[in-house]
Amino acid sequence: MRTVCFYFQVHQPFRIKPYRFFDIGEDHHYWNDYLNRLVIRKVAQKCYLPMNSLLLELIEKHGSKFKVAFSISGMFLDQIEAYAPEVLESFQRLVATGQVELLNETYSHSLASLKSKDEFVSLVKKHQQRIQHLFQGYTPKVFRNTELIYSDQIGKMVAELGYDGMLTEGAKHILGWKSPNYVYSNSLAPEFKVLLKNFRLSDDIAFRFGDNTWGDFPLTTSKFVSWLNALPKEEPVVNLFMDYETFGEHQWAETGIFEFMKYLPEEIFSNSNFTFSTPSEVLASLSPVSSIHVPTPISWADEERDLTAWLGNDMQDEAFDRLYELEKQVRSTCDPELIRDWEYLQTSDHFYYICTKFFSDGSVHEYFSPYDTPYDAFINYMNVLSDFILRVKQAHESRATTLTKA
Amino acid sequence: MFGWEFPPHISGGLGTACYGLVQGMNFHNQEVIFVVPKLWGDEEPVADFVNASTVSIDYRERRFKKLWKNLTYIEVNSYLVPYLGPKEFKKYTSSVLQGSTDMQESVFSNSFEFSGKYGKNLMEEVARYALVGAQIARDRQDFDIIHAHDWLAYPAGIAAKEISGKPLVVHVHATEYDRSGESVNFPVFKIERAGMHAADHVVAVSQLTKNICVRKYGIPAEKVSVLHNAVLDASIITSAYQKKVPEKIVTFLGRITFQKGPEYFVEAAKKVIDRDPNVRFVMAGSGDLLTKMVDRVAELRIGTKFHFTGFLKGDDVDHMYAISDVYVMPSVSEPFGIAPLEAVRHNTPVIISKQSGVAEVLNNAIKIDFWDVDAMADAIFGLLHYESMARMFKELGGDELKKLKWEHVAAKLVTVYEKILARRT
């Protein structure tokens, strides 16, 4: 069997509103409701709704032969529930076909896997419950970590939670001469399987599709299928992992991205021996060719495929450390509002906005950031965090007084 | 008097000082003709205002042509622009290189709309302003003395003196050495030096500034008088604005530029926070060193205790003073520095650098060397914890303010004028 495995990441952060120093201690609502709603509504029209209906069409047309997988972050689920219920319904319809697999991630698209096992596990559970609640008891079996972040340790941690396998980047520096088009296993938990993104073919669609300066522009379905056919015959699986917003938002409808996806299955069926599979099908049918060693975490971001988009400069490290210092104190309050804000504040995007790698990947960063500069992003985040720290402190003080009174 | 800005349209302390001085001169029944590049129409009618934008230059006047030739030392087509940080400068030069203006032609056209700001055509405006100065000096005979405020108006003062033959006073509110340290913008320095040398007398806003005039510009000490600035309103402000955080607040409020010494404030903050976590530091303002300061704060890992507000205006400035427990002005070189006096009006104890002119008039303040971050941290800690000292400053600072009146400054200026005029006859 040779197969193509599509997985789409669906996520939008709760962006923080402009929060001034004068607001600290008074204003406890941090979220830019207007902007967040606007983005969801806009991208729903450009991407989520048209692409969902296209996928539904393809499933109806090709029956059980066509399938895809989604990882939908809790931040996204919370926002479509509030701002675009029709998007939630269309995802529910897709999942109800049985041809669409949902993956598990952390509820708040968090970087907790790098910092705290307890926090990580609690956010994974919460995401699982959210999925079960919204998708008629659906329970994901495969895991994808925020930004495809993976290391031997993180893989082992996920294996202990009982998942069949996990998705990550086919980063050059960990693969070396090896091919991403096989199933691998975790080096600490040999029974735990790892799927690697074929970043060349994925990014041909996700990043280069509409780029008319690219040598292979325009990308047609027959060209893409000829590339699939050109892969060594013994390589069994091509993992095409990308942001769902690729369709209609990063690549506008005018580029022909929807038409490309509409005719790709047909082209694959008629001109190649590839099939479509979901991640759990791939994991079930293929055994690992070897283990893969990832001592330091990798991700799917930027040229380096490391963590430097979120962590590494002083501002990012400061924000990250100050936030996670609070973990035990916040969790012990059991205050639902504090815990909600705590989880929302962990979203990786907040740290991404503080990235100062202007020169190589700056344009991508700028595109996604609501701030003019990383400095503005840092100042705003730290103001909010300062207020949050005060609230946590007050919650503990008031609890202490009620305890002494009792 | 030739100025560059006048309230309410001001971007710095210069306009406020001019306004105070004019008020003081009125108190002593001195008539002031005040020229500004641009009048907005909502200025308080405290002087006989002349709007330079409406003065047309008589191009038949031969002396003007000659004057203009001499003015070309201002280097109007150079890319040297004061008041711009490296980033803004790059933006400016790239835009100028695309479309340059032909100064020689435009200057002798009949009308010229001044922006009255500190933008990219500053040098051109300064030169044109000088011609206006000459024209006014020729048209109006009803003045005894010419008084030019800061380098932007010096060429106008020099031109007016040349045409009218009347004595010139230049008023040094700041020098290029204050703004840029030792890396001075040479064209600006040249204008400043020419102004001070052409003047019959120089007025400096502090002893500190006088010393710079003598040492760096080669002006004889006896030719320079020190006239400290004053405050328009010395009343104590009690604000209803309440702070919303339990911690004490230490504030830096001003442009975040080399001259203001923001980096020393950050270093001192770190030292204080290490000893006392119940303090928040605020850096209010903007400027070319802002991003550097943000980087440093993150590097020191004090980001949840050190806040940036960006540029504050209107009520926010008052609110900031009102909720501050200590105000720090660590200026590297401050000719005068009016902000600490505003803090005193809000009953906020102040720490000022010895390298500021205001240190010469304010006794109830802690004075430190700008570079001595240990002393600064000690002083902050002391004012936050030893309440008696802060209380004393509050009680006595207000009284001190009341002595700083523009009438007194104006009286001294009248004496300076009288001496110059007496020397002439």
Identify the residue with better confidence: B394 or B303.
B303
> Bridge partners of A243?
A9
pLDDT for B101:
43
Crossing angle for the helix pair B62-71 and B150-164, to the nearest 10 degrees: 150
Residue A150 lies in a domain: yes
Please judge whether B307 and A386 are an interchain contact, meaning their C-beta atoms are less than 8 angstroms apart: yes
What average pLDDT does the segment B313-338 reach? 92
Question: What Cα–Cα distance (Å) separates residue A369 from each residue in A16, A37, A350, A365, B76?
Answer: 11, 16, 9, 6, 40
Whole-model pTM: value is 0.80
Q: How confident is the model at residue A283 (pLDDT cuts 50, 70, 90)?
A: very high
Q: Which residue on chain A is closest to B245 by alpha carbon?
A: A25
Please answer whether residues A112 and A120 qualify as being in contact, where contact means their C-beta atoms are separated by less than 8 angstroms: yes
Q: Which of B70-84, B211-225, B265-279, B382-396 has the lowest mean pLDDT?
A: B70-84
Lowest-pLDDT choice from A143-152, A190-199, B77-86, B411-420: B77-86
pLDDT tens digits, one per residue of A59-79: 999 999 999 999 999 999 999
Distance from CA of B246 to the nearest CA of A (A): 8
**pLDDT of res. A164:** 93
In a domain, A387, yes or no: yes
**pLDDT score at A128:** 98
CA distance B280 to chain A (A): 10
Share of chain B above pLDDT 90, in %: 56
Q: What percent of chain A has a predicted confidence (pLDDT) above 70?
A: 97
> What letter represents residue A79's amino acid?
Q
Q: Give the separation between CA A185 and CA B213, rounded to whole angstroms.
A: 76
CA-nearest residue to A21 within chain B is B309
Residue B324 Cα, gap to closest chain A Cα (Å): 12
Domain boundary among A239, A258, A292: A292
Are B304 and A386 within 8 A, CB to CB?
yes
Which of the two residues, A404 and B89, has the higher pLDDT score? A404
**Do the Cβ atoms of A21 and B282 come within 8 Å?**
yes
Structure confidence at residue A95 (pLDDT): 97
pLDDT for residue B92 is more than 80: no
On whether any CB of chain A is under 8 Å from the CB of B295, the answer is yes
A278-300: average pLDDT: 96
Task: From chain B, pick out residues whose CB is under 8 angstroms from the CB of A385.
Answer: 303-304
Which of B 313-332 lie inside 8 A of A, CB atoms? 316, 319
Domain at A162, CATH number: 3.20.110.20
- When mean pLDDT is compared across A7-16, A315-324, B132-141, B258-267, the lowest value belongs to B132-141
Q: Which of B280, B304, B316 sits opposite A385 (nearest CB)?
A: B304
Q: For B293, which residue in chain A has the nearest alpha carbon? A: A375
Q: Which residues of B touch A382 (CB under 8 A)?
A: 303-304, 307
Q: How confident is the model at residue A366 (pLDDT cuts 50, 70, 90)?
A: low
Of B244, B294, B307, the CB nearest to A383: B307
Rounded Cα distance between B125 and B114, Å, is 7
CA pair distance A235, A228, nearest whole angstrom: 10
pLDDT at B93: 61
What is the average pLDDT across A41-58?
97
Provide DSSP, B313-355: -THHHHHHHHH-SEEEE--SSBSS--HHHHHHHTT--EEEETT
CA A266 to chain centre: 28
Using CB atoms, which residue from B308, B316, B319 is nearest to A379?
A: B308
Quick one: A173 and A273 in the same domain?
yes
DSSP B112-162: -----SSSTTHHHHHHHHHHHHHHHHHH----S-EEEEHHHHHHHHHHHHH
Task: Quick: pLDDT tens for A291-319.
Answer: 999 999 999 998 899 999 999 989 899 99
Residue A305 lies in a domain: no
Asked if A317 and B294 come within 8 Å (Cβ–Cβ), the reply is no
pLDDT of A359 reads 47
Mean pLDDT in residue range A165-184? 96
Q: Name the residue of chain A whose CA is nearest to B322's CA.
A: A22
Residues A145 and A272 in one domain: yes
Which chain A residues are closer than 8 Å to B239 by Cβ? none
Please, which residues have CB within 8 angstroms of residue B419's CB and are 6 or more apart in sequence?
A: B201
Annotated active-site residue A86? The verdict is no
Q: Is B104 a residue whose pLDDT tops 50?
A: no
CA distance A28 to chain B (A): 12
A282 and A340, same domain (yes or no):
no
| A397 CA: distance to closest CA in chain B (Å) | 13
A259 lies in the same domain as A116: yes
Opening angle at CA B290, ends B288 and B292, nearest 5: 95
Inter-chain CB proximity A21 and B294 less than 8 Å: no
A322, closest residue in chain B (CA to CA): B304
pLDDT: which is higher, B61 or B371: B371
By residue range, what is the domain housing residue A88? 2-292
CB contact under 8 A, B244 and A25: yes
pLDDT at position B88 is: 65
* A280 and A333 belong to one structural domain: no
How many domains, in total, are found in chain A?
2
Q: Which of A20, A315, A389 sits opposite B298 (nearest CB)?
A: A315
Q: Decide if B292 touches A, using CB distance below 8 A.
A: no
Residue A365, pLDDT score: 60
Which band of pLDDT confidence, cut at 50, 70 and 90, is reported for residue A360?
A: very low
Q: Which residue in the set B245, B298, B310 is minimally distant from A318, CB to CB?
A: B298
Q: Chain B: give the shortest CA distance to residue A262, in Å.
A: 46
Residue range A52-60: average pLDDT? 97
A10: enclosing H helix or E strand:
strand A2-10
- A260 and A350 share one domain: no
In contact, B156 and B196? CB cutoff 8 Å: no
pLDDT the model gives residue A372: 82
**A145 and A287 housed in the same domain:** yes
Of A257, A292, A327, the residue at which a domain comes to its end is A292
- Among A38-47, B71-80, B329-338, the range of highest mean pLDDT: A38-47
* B311 near A CB under 8 A: no
Is residue B277 within 8 angstroms of chain A, CB to CB? no
Q: Residue A309 falls within a domain, yes or no?
A: no
Interface test with A, best of B288, B301, B308 (most A CBs within 10 A): B308
CB contact under 8 A, B246 and A385: no
Question: Is residue B211 classed exposed, middle or buried when 0-12, 13-18 and 19+ CB atoms within 10 A define those classes?
Answer: middle
Q: Which of A232, A260, A292 is the last residue of a domain?
A: A292
Q: How confident is the model at residue A401 (pLDDT cuts 50, 70, 90)?
A: confident
Provide mean pLDDT across the span A335-347. 97
**Nearest CB to A318; choose among B291, B301, B308:** B301
The rounded distance, in Å, linking the Cα atoms of B327 and B321 is 8
> Is residue A307, in this structure, part of any structural domain at all?
no
pLDDT tens by residue, B41-59: 888 888 999 998 888 887 7
Same domain, A282 and A343: no
Token couple for B387: 């309440």
The whole-angstrom separation of Cα B308 and Cα B169 is 41
Q: At what angle do helices B150-164 and B186-198 cross, to 10 degrees?
A: 40
| Higher-pLDDT residue of A150, B89 | A150
Tell me if B246 and A25 make a contact (CB, 8 A cut-off): yes
Cβ neighbours of B223 (radius 10 Å) = 15
For residue B100, what pLDDT band results from cuts at 50, 70 and 90?
Answer: very low
**Structural domain includes residue A332:** yes
d(CA B384, CA B389): 9
Q: What is the average per-residue pLDDT within B359-371? A: 91
Interface touch A21/B243, C-beta < 8 Å: no
User: Mean pLDDT score of chain B, rounded to an integer?
Assistant: 87
Residues of B in contact with A389 (CB under 8 A): 304
The shortest C-alpha distance from A98 to chain B (Å) reads 48
For residue A314, give the nearest of B246, B295, B309 by CB distance: B295
| Higher-scoring residue by pLDDT: A393, A399 | A393
- For B74, the token pair is 């201002």
Contact A20 B298 (CB under 8 A): no
Mutate to test the interface with A, among B241, B243, B280, B294 (most CBs of A within 10 A): B294
Average pLDDT over residues A37-57: 97
In this structure, is residue A52 part of a structural domain?
yes
**Can you tell me the mean pLDDT for A109-129?**
97
Residues of B in contact with A313 (CB under 8 A): 298
Which residues is A68 bridged to in the sheet?
A100
Q: Are strands B326-329 and B306-310 parallel, antiparallel or unpaired?
A: unpaired
Mean pLDDT of chain A: 94
Is residue B320 very low, low, confident or very high in pLDDT (cuts 50, 70, 90)? Answer: very high
- Tell me the three state secondary structure of residue A316: helix
Q: Does A385 touch chain B (CB under 8 A)?
A: yes
Find the mean pLDDT for residues A20-34. 93
Write the residue in A21, A318, A389 that is nearest to B307 by C-beta. Answer: A21
B87 touches chain A (CB under 8 A): no
The residue-averaged pLDDT of B69-94 equals: 59
Closest-CA residue of A relative to B244 is A25
Residues A74 and A201 in one domain: yes
In a domain, A298, yes or no: no
Interface of A with B in 292-351 (CB under 8 A): 313-315, 317-319, 321-322
Angle, helices A257-271/A221-230, rounded to nearest 10 degrees: 50
SS percent in chain A: helix, strand, coil, step 5: 55, 15, 30
Across the range A82-94, mean pLDDT stands at 98
For the segment A19-37, the average pLDDT, to the nearest whole number, is 94
pLDDT at position B388 is: 80
pLDDT (tens digit per residue) in A215-230: 999 999 999 999 999 9
Which listed residue (A147, A249, A267, A343) is catalytic? A147
pLDDT for A380 beyond 90: yes
> Chain A contacts of B305, Cβ < 8 Å?
386
Whether A286 and A329 map to the same domain: the answer is no
Task: Indicate yes or no: CB of B309 within 8 angstroms of CB of A317.
Answer: no
Q: Is B304 on the interface with A (CB under 8 A)?
A: yes
Co-location of A91 and A160 in the same domain:
yes
Cβ–Cβ below 8 Å for A386 and B305: yes
Contact A21 B290 (CB under 8 A): no
Identify which of A20, A315, A322 has the shortest CB distance to residue B309: A20
Q: Does residue B167 surpass a pLDDT of 70? A: yes
Tell which wins on pLDDT, A245 or B93. Answer: A245
Same-domain check for residues A154 and A188: yes
